[in-house]
């Protein structure tokens, strides 16, 4: 049985040791300990960390991940629910994310209205063309100079 120390697990998963300790604090990882207190991980923990990272990237928080991890299996890199209640929970999380996206979009639209209401003499002070409202263009820094794309 292959075991890994925390540094090796961090390298294999592209995370940091600090992040792995945080996952342990959150109940997402449960490494064994040596007599000297060092964490010892199993090969399966590599996949567990990858599942955690995937779920974090999808917008779930660590508390939710701790609840859903036992109800997921990995099927060739694809996470598949195995518990009936999990699908409902994931739909609720998706609805929460959609609400957040809608709120951010509304905020951006209001900001766009304020920006476009600026008198031409204010926008002429920018070095170069004004930044497009879609966030892809140069943004003025504190001096007014364009600082490059976001």
Question: For the segment 76-115, what is each residue's pLDDT rounded down to a tens digit?
Answer: 888 999 998 999 989 999 999 999 999 999 999 999 999 9
Question: For the segment 24-60, what is each residue's pLDDT rounded down to a tens digit?
Answer: 999 999 999 999 999 999 999 999 999 999 999 998 9
C-alpha to C-alpha distance for 77 and 121, rounded to whole angstroms: 54
pLDDT at residue number 136: 58
Inform me whether the pLDDT recorded for 138 exceeds 90.
Answer: no
Q: What is the mean pLDDT of residues 109-136?
A: 76
Going by their DSSP bridges, the two strands 78-81 and 72-75 should be labelled as antiparallel
Residues 6 or more apart in contact with residue 12 via CB below 8 angstroms: 4, 46
Contact 129, 120 (CB under 8 A): no
C-alpha to C-alpha distance for 53 and 78, rounded to whole angstroms: 13
pLDDT at residue number 127: 46
Beta strands in the chain (DSSP E): 3-4, 32-33, 39-42, 72-75, 78-81, 138-140, 146-149
Reported confidence tier of residue 121, pLDDT bands at 50, 70, 90: confident
Inform me whether the pLDDT recorded for 139 exceeds 60.
Answer: no
Place of tokens 């609840």: 67
């Amino acid at each position: 049985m292959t075991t890994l120390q925390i540094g090796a697990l961090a390298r294999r998963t592209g995370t940091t040791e600090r992040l792995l300790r945080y996952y342990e604090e959150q109940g997402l990882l449960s490494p064994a300990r040596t007599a000297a207190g060092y964490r010892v991980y199993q090969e399966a923990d590599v996949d567990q960390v990858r599942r955690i990272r995937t779920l974090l990237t999808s917008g779930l928080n660590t508390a939710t991940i701790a609840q859903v991890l036992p109800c997921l299996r990995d099927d060739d890199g694809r996470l598949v629910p195995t518990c009936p209640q999990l699908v409902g929970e994931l739909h609720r999380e998706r609805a929460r994310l959609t609400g957040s996206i809608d709120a951010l979009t509304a905020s951006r639209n209001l900001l766009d209205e304020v920006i476009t209401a600026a008198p031409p003499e204010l926008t002429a002070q920018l070095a170069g063309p004004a930044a497009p409202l879609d966030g892809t263009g140069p943004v003025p820094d504190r001096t007014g100079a364009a600082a490059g794309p976001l």
